[in-house]
Each structure stands twice: as structure tokens, then as C-alpha cells.
Amino acid sequence: MKVVDAGLPGCKIIEPRVHGDDRGVFFESWNKAAWAAHGLDFDFVQSNVSVSERGVLRGLHYQWPHAQGKLVSVLEGEVYDVAVDVRHGSPTFGRSTAVLLSADSRREFWIPEGYAHGFVVLSARAVFHYLCTAPYVREADAGLRWNDARLAIDWPVGAPRLSDKDANLPFLDDIPRDRLPEFSE
């Protein structure tokens, strides 16, 4: 397995070791001991799958309180995946990083607690999988607008398909401080 920094503190791209032959492929998508050896030592408590069509953008979502770390991957198709540092007081507050994830590349993206997350589907359809370090808590559900100019995210789509919720999320500067995670070293 290869672990690569993804441009923001704690965000990592994981490239698993893939074993293949004429029957197909096999790889470990998670191994607690192997990941801990790379400094990625955490427990998952929830697994989620979403299925979306081309142009669907989901996000940018986070939870506060009850922050979630997320290990995300694509089981079918291709997505442009984004993490945004929303930890108040962080030196990288408001900065984003992005990675192209696909079933073909088998890459995974680790997004630590304190980051908002979103993705847009680039293929005809995508099956998106994520493991979470904390359960979903409706009252802690939060997010920010996908096209917030302050974030300067270079989304590869101009007019994505959005849920009403995602289309009406606040801009980062309009989120009250007590609705943002606090940065700690």
C-alpha cells in the first residue's frame, strides 16, 4: 500500500496493492494494522453507499459536533472528490484539496475529522462507498455551499445536479463559529 499526502493536513490518498490475474483482481481496502503502521489508526463505526448519475454533486457536508473521519472510495464509475478544511483557527481554514477517484484506479481518500466533504460524478453512474469514524447524527448535520467563491474549488462541472438541501447550504463566512469544528494541534 502506498500513502500519499493529499495537500491538506491529515488528508491522505491511499493506493492499495492490487493483485490480479485473468480472473480479476483482489486488494485490501482496509486493514487496521497495516494502516496503523502508516499513522492512520482509527476505528470505523458506520459504512455508507450512495449511487448517483453523471453530474450529481453531493456536498459539501460535515458534522459538528460529532465530527466524522471518512475513508471514501468508488466501487463503480468515477468521481471528483473534494475535502475542505472547516476547522476554525486552522492555518489552512477554507482551503480545499481534490482527488479523482475511480473503480479502475482503486484509490481511496482519507478525510479526517474537521473537514467538509463532497463529490461530483463524472461517469454515467457511480457507486460511492465511505467508512465513517462516528455515526450520522441528524442534529449535527452541517454543510457549506459547493460553489462558495471563497473556497475556489475548480469543479469539473458547471451546472451540477443538486439536492434542494445542498443548493441552499450557507457560504463558509456565514456559518456561525459554534457550528464549526475548532482546530487543535
Extents of the domains making up the chain: 43-172
Distance between CA atoms of 94 and 91, rounded to whole angstroms?
9
Helix/strand/coil for 139: helix
Separate counts of helices (H) and strands (E) for the chain: 2, 13
Q: What is the enclosing helix (H) or strand (E) of 137?
A: none
Average pLDDT for 108-127:
98
E strand segments, the chain: 2-5, 12-15, 19-21, 24-26, 46-53, 57-63, 70-76, 78-85, 96-102, 108-111, 115-121, 125-132, 141-143
| CATH 1.10.357.10 is right for the domain spanning 43-172 | no
Q: Is 115 a catalytic residue?
A: no
pLDDT, tens digit, 9 for 90 and up, residues 157-166? 989 999 999 9
Distance between CA atoms of 124 and 35, rounded to whole angstroms?
32
pTM: 0.94
Active-site hit among 62, 80, 115, 130? 130
Q: Is 130 a catalytic residue?
A: yes
pLDDT, tens digit, 9 for 90 and up, residues 20-58? 889 988 888 888 998 899 889 999 999 999 999 999 999
Active-site hit among 38, 61, 88, 117? 61
